[in-house]
Amino acid sequence: MMKRGYEETSSSSSSLHSKPRLSSHNGIHRGEGHGVEDDSTKSLAQKVADHYISRSNQTLEEREVSPIIHLKKLNNWIKSVLIQLYTHRDDVVLDLACGKGGDLIKWDKARIGYYVGVDIADGSMTFGVKR
């Protein structure tokens, strides 16, 4: 498990402006059976991947007429703010469920050092690489 903590600094005024850092937490409890894949899990994972692969890429105009466009814009704004608050220059990022790479510009603006995106849908990953 990882948890965020603040770096300690010698002056109290600079500690107020320091960004949170990830730190390791010892004493992780690992239950039995985690990480075991059976046929039903693989089948479900394939269904999820197929769903995302089958979705068509929408144009900007198509996205703008979506009934939930305002919610999508709010979610993207929140992600942008969180990325800017909690990343440091040259950080390494592992983006789980990265999809088609819609957040790549956000990570680029944060000036991270290295990015790894992982997604269950290979088709999404292929599209993301093209971005």
The residue behind tokens 């991947």 is: 49
* Nearest Cα residue to 27 out of 57, 2, 60: 2
Each residue of 68-125: pLDDT tens digit? 999 999 999 999 999 999 999 999 999 999 998 999 999 999 999 999 999 998 877 7
In a domain, 2, yes or no: no
Structural domains in the chain (count): 1
Single out the residue of 117, 72, 123, 75 nearest to residue 97, CA to CA: 117
Residue 44 within a domain = no
26 occurs within a structural domain: no
Assigned domain for 16 exists = no
Average pLDDT, the chain: 78
CATH number, domain containing residue 90 = 3.40.50.150
Residue 51 lies in a domain: no
Give residue 60's pLDDT: 81
**Better-scored residue on pLDDT, 87 or 126:** 87
Q: Is residue 73 part of a domain?
A: yes
> For tokens 């603006």, what's the residue?
109
Strand residue runs (E) in 7-127: 20-24, 92-96, 114-118
| Domain residue limits at 83 | 59-131
Going by C-alpha positions, the residue among 111, 118, 64 that lies closest to residue 96 is 118
Query: What pLDDT, in 10s, does the model give residues 42-69?
Result: 899 899 888 888 887 788 888 899 999 9
Per the domain annotation, does 85 fall within a domain? yes
Contacts of 2 (CB under 8 A, 6+ apart): 22, 23, 24, 25
45: in domain = no
pLDDT at residue 74, rounded to an integer? 98
Task: Count Cβ neighbours within 10 Å for each residue of 77-92 and write b for 16 or more, e otherwise.
Answer: eeeeeebeeebeeebe
Q: What is the pLDDT of residue 34?
A: 55
What pLDDT, on the 0 to 100 scale, is given for residue 35?
59
Look at residue 46 and give its three-state secondary structure: helix
